[in-house]
Structure 1
């Protein structure tokens, strides 16, 4: 993975000291809150319902074991002993004191981490598939391009104060999209043209929140050398024409819709014509330099253990379930990708304790070349596990609570922190997630239901990505009471879609039974091997509505 050079270290250190002085002046009353607000936001610092919140960047979701241990120590020394994995692969602290944040940032810089541009109206942390670099169906490793975008966008003076926040995601798998690129401001899909040359399909104008949209394609093929110049053209058009008079209409998706995708693309192409041959154009040497930052670890020749694994799976059904659902195919023979599920019933989705962070660090050192990854689904990944150590690893993680074999199932809930922490939330998310998990604890029943995305957000800002859940849950306020609105049919994958609202909202205590009724309709109407989303698309929303509101 990428390691800081002297320029990165200098920039991080200078940024910490700059923010230390800004914080001192703010606490002394020398900076008004409206002056301090954009400064603290671009350093990841929010003021939430009960305490400040600090969002820490995890570029492309990758963490070294030393970084995990530092996060554990910071959460213990400056917080309440736990952190939160977000849907954009970042880490949040929910209880730091404002006066401690400069010290936290200084400690992060020591292990090559930061909180730069994790908030504010700027280009946020670039995300990608948690299996990047190791998945078998990858067109090319997307991480070098993510790092190129990160270095280009960090402190870019022209794009420091955009009309609204801006998010970029990159995907490289031909058959899956674990990065949800079509609901980002810019989504990049790695492709090859008819000549086999590498490039990108460019989606622009996706996003969730109050006006959820799937990002249309504005360019089917962009040569890799033109990546930055084209992104710059997109940002310039947005900066010039995006609305600044109304923050609810300031996202690029509103501009793309207003101009139409074709009209927006025309403006981008016109702008790009002026800058495509500028020094920002990538050279082959520059691309290859970034690719050297992501070399393969020291893979070994691993003996064939397929017969041994088959025997163990036959003898131990629990291990077999874990292998079937939490272990994925690796591009290297003899290795496997293992997802550590953080969704054991009773654990708030995304939350991870200081002890668990240290355990993940230990597991990374022991089993995966000292590296772990954070996922869009708020889990963790060990990307390079020897197959002859899978049974040993499974035995190690069971007492840690990381071996629940519910990956991509109904109880693998994506969930924002909600009203327990967030000042913007209309309702709590975590208790609803736990109640649903308890209703569906039977793994055999979960496997019968099959893969299903359940996403929960506490407000319309959609940090839980409820719009693109196969089943989406949105917390709403009804005369001071917490209620929950359900949508069906969303998807964040290659077949991206925005879910449709089922009808009137429900009280919190009713939610597990409501979800059960929805599942019953699916089970009653599905054909053999038909997934929930396929059944929904075939029969429509009415049968679900009739059952739930009967």
Structure 2
């Protein structure tokens, strides 16, 4: 992991002290709310439906065990809904007790959020975060947001090059960049170094893929203009190969062009994807012209030297785990034997939650934060603390927050897998469902967010309750189910094999269902937005509609055919017919009543 320098630590601590001063001035009336709002947003503090929401940055998903323990302390000591004034709540106060507090929430952008910390205690929270080199800088606002990458970065067997050093260099370059502090809209960058794009880079404002050209030189393929929201668009490739050392200069050119030509008169048309779509080749030409000026007139000031890349890369070397001298094959044989003698759930866990590693003595293990009675991605204080213990014991003190709202341990020895499984199972974090239907993505939705049209969490909970049978889940196979509470798409419903979008109809919650979306992984195929299968459904119908879709899949699939491949082969019509049958049945029941 990257280790903060004295400058980094001082910077974060000074920012926390600055925020404390701003907060005190807000409370004593010398700083008005309109003046304070951009300052709190620059530190990751929103005001949501009931209470403030804090977004904590986890750059490219890497997080240390001591940071997890501080997140646990914040959850336990500060994330209390009873301390907030909810007299102006949009929904009935009777609904509030059912909403979880004293927990952190893992997001699809590898960040962590809290939903109940009162502003009166915000400065103390920022000081705690700073004590372990954490903050909320640029987790909000119209700036370059947290840069994300593959949770398997640096360990994936299909990796061309480790993207983490580049992500760290980009983080340092973009943090408080004076020219890009007030862009037309928020700006998100994802980078992958693997053959399989597990970072969903094509869905980002800028998506970067490390690759080698015919001469073996390392560089980037550059996509621009991806995004979800009201207009789902896959990013366009504007450079097939850019030498790695020029990536900051080229990013500078892209963001300059966006800053200059992006729309500021309409926030719904302010994202770079709208500009790229409208301008086409002329946008690419403008970027190339800016890049030429940066290189020829400015002297390419952001060129990454080999020495700088080596310096940053040195922070990302594999830990010394003192692996024993048994061969990987012998270890695996021992583990599989133990699985056969122990529990079918352990065998399933090895299949679903354990991934190969560049080091044959090691594995990457995902702890599942998708469980009955909790929102997808929620982790209470005790779970965070116990997860930190597992990270220390089994993963050299390092974990990764995943795009799928789970926690991955990247440095697990093969011979420790049985012990890790037993410990994780005891904590409720070993459900063998990674990649399966119940490993769904969901945003907080209307339960917390004042932008949402409908609630996401009750839909996720109902589906989790319906699909608890592991035999059934494994029979259904790998399915990406994504749920968003509004068109802003924080739950990435556009890229789900099954997408659920909350919409508002005359003050009532309804849900649009889409099929065939993809984030660009090997399983899903090329990135593509899903297509709606008809008018929206009432909340009470959604679980039955999903069940009808899955029954149709069972009836239509060939042997070992995945859900997404069946949808691609037979088309949406059989699924649409099955879903509409639920609507008809509901109408008949209502009429009879």
Q: TM-score, normalised by structure 2?
A: 0.91
User: In the alignment, which of 425, 428, 435 is matched to residue 452 of structure 2?
Assistant: 425
Q: Distance in 1 between matches of 2:559 and 2:37?
A: 54
Query: Number of paired residues?
Result: 548
Secondary structure at 1:124's aligned position in 2?
coil
Contact 2:368 2:429 in 1 (8 A): yes
Partner SS, residue 549 of structure 1: helix
Hey, what does 1:242 align to over in structure 2?
A: 262
Aligned to 1:205: 225
Of 337, 341, 344, the residue aligned with 1:311 is 337
Structure 1 counterpart SS, 2:502: strand
Which residue in the other structure is 1:189 paired with?
Answer: 209
Give the corresponding residue for 2:159.
138
Q: C-alpha distance in 2, partners of 1:55/1:485?
A: 28
Following TM superposition, by how much is the alpha carbon of 1:286 offset from its aligned partner in structure 2, in angstroms?
1.1
SS of residue in 2 equivalent to 1:196: coil
Whether the aligned pair in 1 keeps the contact of 2:142 and 2:185 (CA below 8 Å) is: yes
| Separation in structure 2 between the aligned mates of residue 299 and residue 393 of structure 1, nearest angstrom | 16
Q: What is aligned with 1:49? A: 49
What is the CA-CA distance between 1:370 and the residue it aligns to? 0.8
Alpha-carbon distance between aligned partners in 1 of 2:466 and 2:573, rounded to the nearest angstrom = 24
Secondary structure, in 3 states, of the residue corresponding to 2:235?
Answer: coil
- Displacement of 1:243 in angstroms is 0.2
SS at match of 1:212: coil
Runs of 4+ in structure 1 deviating by more than 6 angstroms, as ranges, are none
1:205 to partner: Cα distance: 0.5
What secondary structure sits across from 1:352 in the alignment? strand
| SS of match in other structure, 2:426 | coil
Aligned to 2:70: 70
Match of 2:316 in 1: 294
Q: Report how far residue 209 of structure 1 moved.
A: 1.1
CA separation in 1, counterparts of 2:198 and 2:321?
Answer: 25
> 1:87 & 1:143 partners in 2: Cα distance?
18
* Matching of residues 28-107 of structure 1 within 5 Å: 28-80=28-80, 81-107=102-128
Deviation at 1:346, TM superposition (A): 2.1
Matched residue SS, 2:13:
helix
Which stretch of structure 1 is more off in the superposition, 363-372 or 32-41?
32-41
Q: 2:146 aligns with which of 98, 122, 125?
A: 125
Offset at 1:268?
0.5
The residue correspondences of 1:441-520 to structure 2 (distance < 5 A) are 441-494=468-521, 495-520=526-551
Tell me which residue corresponds to 2:93.
none
SS in 1 for 2:304: coil
- Of 267, 275, 283, the residue aligned with 2:305 is 283
* TM-fit CA distance, 1:505: 1.1
In the other structure, the counterpart of 1:379 is 406
**After alignment, is 428-437 or 532-541 more displaced?**
532-541
Q: Please name the residue that 1:544 is paired with.
A: 575
Q: Greater CA deviation, 233-242 or 311-320?
A: 311-320
1:365 is aligned to 392
The answer as to whether partners of 1:3 and 1:112 remain within 8 angstroms in 2 is: no
Paired with 1:346 and 1:493, the residues of 2 have a C-alpha distance of 31
Q: Whole-Å Cα distance in 2 between the matches of residues 462 and 200 of structure 1?
A: 27
Structure 2: runs of 5 or more not aligned: 81-101, 582-593
- The answer to whether the Cα contact below 8 Å between 1:360 and 1:372 also exists between their aligned partners in 2 is no
Moved more, 476-485 or 405-414: 476-485
Contact 2:446 2:454 in 1 (8 A): yes
**Alignment partners' CA distance in 2, 1:531 and 1:151:** 41
Contact 2:69 2:388 in 1 (8 A): yes
Deviations 1:86-137 (A, max 9, x none): 0000000111111221221111111011110000000001011111111111
- Segment of structure 1 superposing worse, 95-104 or 226-235: 95-104
User: Take 1:417 and 1:29, find their aligned partners in 2: how far apart are those partners?
Assistant: 32
Question: How much is the aligned-residue C-alpha RMSD, in angstroms?
Answer: 1.1
Quote the residue 1:215 is aligned against: 235
Identify which range, 265-274 or 530-539, moves more after superposition. 530-539
